[in-house]
Amino acid sequence: MTKNLLLDNERVDQLFSTDVKIIQNREVFSYSLDSVLLSRFPQYPQRKGLIVDLCSGNGAVALFASSQTPVKILAVELQERLADMAKRSVILNQLEEQVDIIQDDLKHLLDHVPASQVDLIVCNPPYFKDRESSKKNLSEHYLLARHEITTNLDEICRVSQQALKSNGRLAMVHRPDRFLEIMDTLKKYKLAPKRVQFIYPKLGKEANMLLIEAIKDGSLEGFKILPPLIVHKDNGDYSDEIFEIYYGKNKSN
C-alpha cells in the first residue's frame, strides 16, 4: 500500500513516539522540529469540537495532532503539490474519517468552516517578511512556505479571529525576533496572548523559535512565560525532553 501512495523521490518518515507516518520529499517539502513542537503545544479538545491547521504544508501538524485527540481536524494548504502529499498521508494512516485536507487559500477558510465555531487553530506560518533583501530558497515550494508571499501574520490572525468561537484558541510557532509584532497583532484581533515558550538550540544560545497560544475574547491578564525548551545537549544529542517527544518515554538515549 505504501509504495502505491509514493511518487518519485518521496519517502515515508515516522515520528517514533506515535504511529503517524508522513510522506516527505526533500526537494518539495519536509516537516521539521517546529511542526513537531507545535503539534505538542496546545491542549486538544477530547470529546467534541473542530480543529483547523492553517499553512498545513504536507499535513504534519494535523497528522501528529490526530494522535492526541479524536475530534475532527481540517488542514488547509494553498500549494497543490503539498496538499496532495498530505492527502496521501491521511490515506496511509487510515485517518480519512478524522482528517480532511483542503487545498485552498486560508483567506477562504470560512468557505469550509462555519464562522465562530472552531475550537482550536494551529498554524506553522511563513516566518519571513517578503522583502527584496530576504534570503530566499530556490525551491518555489519552500519559498512560499517560509516567506510571507501568499499570506502574512496579520491575515492569519484576522482569519483565526473570524473562525474561532469565543474562548477558542490559536497556537502558533514563530520566530523570536517577531515576538513584539506577534503580540501586537494578536491583540489587534482580540486574541489575548496566554502562553509563550521560547525554544533554544543549545543552552547559552539565543532562542530561535517560540510557541505562543492566544484565546479569542480572553482577558489580557494571566499571561505565562513557560520554562525554556532546550533542543540539544552540549555534545549535540537531543535533550531528554526533545528525545522523548521524538521517540517516546520508554526508550533511552
Expressed in angstroms, the distance from the first to the final Cα of the chain is 32
* Contact between residue 240 and residue 251 where contact means Cβ atoms under 8 Å apart: no
The number of angstroms, rounded, from the C-alpha of 109 to the middle of its chain's C-alpha atoms is 16
What are the tens digits of pLDDT across the range 81-97? Answer: 999 999 999 999 999 99
Q: What are phi and psi of 128, to 5 degrees?
A: -105, 140
Query: Quick one: which of 163, 181, 69 has its CA closest to 110?
Result: 163
What are the tens digits of pLDDT across the range 98-124? Answer: 999 999 999 999 999 999 999 999 999
Whole-number pLDDT of residue 123: 97
104, three cell numbers: 485552498
Residue 131: count of CB within 10 angstroms of its CB: 10
- Distance, CA of 202 to CA of 208 (rounded, Å): 10
2-247 placed in CATH 3.40.50.150: yes
Whole-number pLDDT of residue 253: 46
What are the tens digits of pLDDT across the range 154-177? Answer: 999 999 999 999 999 999 999 999
Length of the chain in terms of residues written: 253
Q: How large is the average pLDDT for residues 232-247?
A: 93
The number of angstroms, rounded, from the C-alpha of 188 to the middle of its chain's C-alpha atoms is 22
Map out the domains of the chain as residue ranges: 2-247
What are the tens digits of pLDDT across the range 2-36? Answer: 667 898 888 998 877 788 999 998 888 788 899 99
- Distance, CA of 30 to CA of 217 (rounded, Å): 35
Single pTM value for the model:
0.91
Share of the chain above pLDDT 90, in %: 75
* Contact between residue 199 and residue 211 where contact means Cβ atoms under 8 Å apart: yes
Decide the pairing of beta strands 191-202 and 229-232.
parallel
Strand partners, 137: none
Q: Does residue 141 carry a pLDDT above 90?
A: no
